[in-house]
Chains A and B, each alone.
Chain A
Amino acid sequence: MGYEKRIDGRKKFEELRPIEAKAGVIKRADGSAYFKIGKTVAYAAVYGPRDLYPKFMQNPKKGILRCHYNMMPFSGQGDRVRPGANRRAKEISMITEKSLIPVINLEDFPNAVVDVFIELPQTDAGSRCAGITAASIALADAGIIMKDMVSAVAVGRVDDKLVVDLDYNEEAYEEGRAAADVPVAFLPNSGKLSLLQMDGNITKDELKKALEMGKEACKEIYEVQKKALKDKYQLGE
């Protein structure tokens, strides 16, 4: 039997959910973005480069990038998410930083900090990837010098099929082999990967194929990011 048809009605296993993106949605921030993929929504706001406190964190050789990932209390699939940084949010904040740092030159802003705040008002899986994708738009919107954009999506295996952009139902799919969830982020112009996590089980060959699928999907996401930024600036602000 196997996994024959996607639960949410998508036609293909490599198909992304519907995407919307907009740059410059938060006036007070230096750069900002809205990114929606399926029922997962992320806002990102960038402040900086700005003064870094506490002062002992300042480094005269380079600046720091600081990311904060946060689910709004009502954004979870089940119970209310208690406000404040839990271990999960802290880890995701850290891997978000690591996935964005390869495109940023920290020496551009010695002693200073670029803060990235990611907030999710509703989620249906793939929230860290949506956050990273939104953050990349917001960083570009803030005029930060970047080698490339960063585009992220989750790939994985549902029963016997490799799929792109798993939603919650696919992540939780219990028939056949246990599902694997592989969030990835790609630098679209260099084709390199800056985020890789995996939960579940997957063979070496499947992983290779899944990563190739992720790379292709990230190209699509990149086009949406590009359009969001061009739409904001092509006609002036």
Chain B
Amino acid sequence: MDKELKNHISKLLKQEKRMDGRKPLDFRQPISVEYGVSATAEGSARVKIGETEVIGGVKLSLETPYDDTPDSGNLMVGVEMLPMSNPDFEAGPPSIDAIELGRVVDRGIRESKAIDTKKLCIEEGEKVWGVIVDICPINDAGNLFDACALAAVAALKDAKFPEIKDGKVDYKTKTDQSVPLATIPISVTVRKIGDGFIVDSTNDEESAIDARLTVAIDENGELAAMQKGGDVALTIEEVDKMVGIALEKEKELRSKL
């Protein structure tokens, strides 16, 4: 829609430049992770990337397992695109963008086997832990994908099981037992505008992108989940290049945890 903006951004990218003065593959600074920001959650974290700010919170509850996985706990990850964080987000039921964002963050954690759901089983077929991660953006100044994924794993890292009393969760008392994490996935989203590639997009850049690729990467550098978005098709070479960029930038985000 905003063709002037798009022209401007792609013209700059040809010179390896961006509107805010960054290089194409620079993240905004500072990047910070703060743990324990919500006392009512079992685990929580605030992630800031430049001016983008999101809060992630984990709730743990006692549930019955699904019939097909009687010995496994349940995992759910969701993102609310709070209208507080961006003038373009609307109040009401989740938009398709919010659903995609939530599912992409969910798959990064699920498919990297970050949580060994077998360890969440208390009594086979009867009682398991349910782990629910909710991510709430406070200020969306761009790149919610990476910020939300980082907040989700940070909140999980912070999570402690509550006591069980008389078969019920006592939310007032936390144990010192952490949620077992087998690996920590980090998501990096690479975006293509014209012929250029960028990471950590701003709102302006996001309104002008042709394609995006989100790559979740585990601790061993293996790819655990991906999602291609945007209206323009990619060549195999382009995908290869974008994955290469993601692998390179993953370390920077991981070092902030």
A44→B41 CA distance, assembly (Å) = 20
- Please measure, in the bound complex, the distance between the C-alpha atom of A83 and the C-alpha atom of B91, giving whole angstroms: 12
Task: Assess the B82–A26 pair: CB atoms within 8 A.
Answer: no
Distance A79 CA – B42 CA, assembled complex (angstroms): 11
Residues from chain B with a CB closer than 8 A to the CB of A26 are: 84-85, 138-139
Could you tell me if B139 and A28 are in contact, using CB atoms closer than 8 angstroms?
yes
State whether the Cβ of B110 lies closer than 8 Å to any Cβ in chain A: no
Q: What are the interface flags for B70-91 relative to A under an 8 Å C-beta threshold, 1 for contact and 0 otherwise?
A: 0000000010101111110001
Other A-B pairs, 12, CB within 8 Å; known A26-B84, A28-B86: A26-B138, A26-B139, A50-B87, A68-B91, A73-B59, A74-B134, A79-B59, A85-B91, A117-B83, A119-B136, A121-B44, A124-B39
Q: Is there an interface contact between A75 and B91, defined as CB atoms closer than 8 Å?
A: no
Q: Does B171 contact A (CB under 8 A)?
A: yes
Classify the secondary structure of B's interface with A: loop
Residues of B within 8 A of A25 (CB): 138
Tell me the smallest distance from the CB of A169 to a CB of chain B, in Å: 10
Q: Is the CB of B83 within 8 A of A83?
A: no
Taking Cβ atoms with an 8 Å cutoff, the residues of B that contact A are 37-42, 44, 51, 55, 57-59, 61, 78, 80, 82-87, 91-94, 132, 134, 136, 138-141, 171
User: When chains A and B are docked, how far (Å) is the Cα of A50 from the Cα of B57?
Assistant: 32
Taking a contact as CB atoms under 8 Å apart, the answer to whether B82 and A74 are in contact is no
A115 to B80, CA, bound (A): 18
Would you call B82 and A119 a contact (CB within 8 A)? yes
Indicate if A209 sits at the interface (CB-CB under 8 A).
Answer: no
On whether the beta carbons of B58 and A29 are closer than 8 Å, the reply is no
Q: For the complex, what is the distance from the CA of A234 to the CA of B80, rounded to whole Å?
A: 35
A39 part of interface (Cβ distance < 8 Å): yes
Interface, chain A (partner B; CB < 8 A) = 25-29, 39, 41, 43-45, 47, 50, 68, 70, 72-80, 83-85, 115, 117-119, 121-124
Minimal beta-carbon separation of B236 from chain A (angstroms): 37
A77 near B171: Cβ-Cβ < 8 Å: yes
B136 / chain A contacts, CB cutoff of 8 Å: 72-73, 119, 121
Tell me which residues across on chain B come within 8 A of A79, comparing CB atoms.
59, 61, 171
Task: Determine the chain A residues whose CB is within 8 A of the CB of B61 once the complex forms.
Answer: 79-80
- Contacts A/B (CB < 8 Å), 20 sampled: A26-B139, A43-B84, A45-B84, A47-B83, A72-B38, A72-B134, A74-B41, A74-B58, A75-B38, A75-B40, A75-B57, A77-B40, A77-B171, A78-B171, A80-B61, A80-B132, A80-B134, A122-B41, A123-B40, A124-B39
Knowing A27-B51, A39-B39 touch, does A72 contact B87 (C-beta < 8 A)? no
Report if A72-B55 is in contact (Cβ < 8 Å); known contacts: A28-B87, A123-B40: yes
CB distance from B227 to the nearest CB of A (A): 22
What are the 4 tightest A-B residue pairs by CB atom distance, in nearest-first order? Answer: A74-B57, A74-B41, A117-B84, A80-B59
Contact of A76 among B40, B84, B139 (CB under 8 A): B40
Minimum distance in angstroms from A112 CB to a CB of chain B: 14
Most chain A CB inside 10 Å of its own CB: which residue of B44, B59, B138: B138
**Assembly CA distance A44 to B37 (angstroms):** 17
Report the minimal beta-carbon distance from B24 to chain A, rounded to whole angstroms. Answer: 23
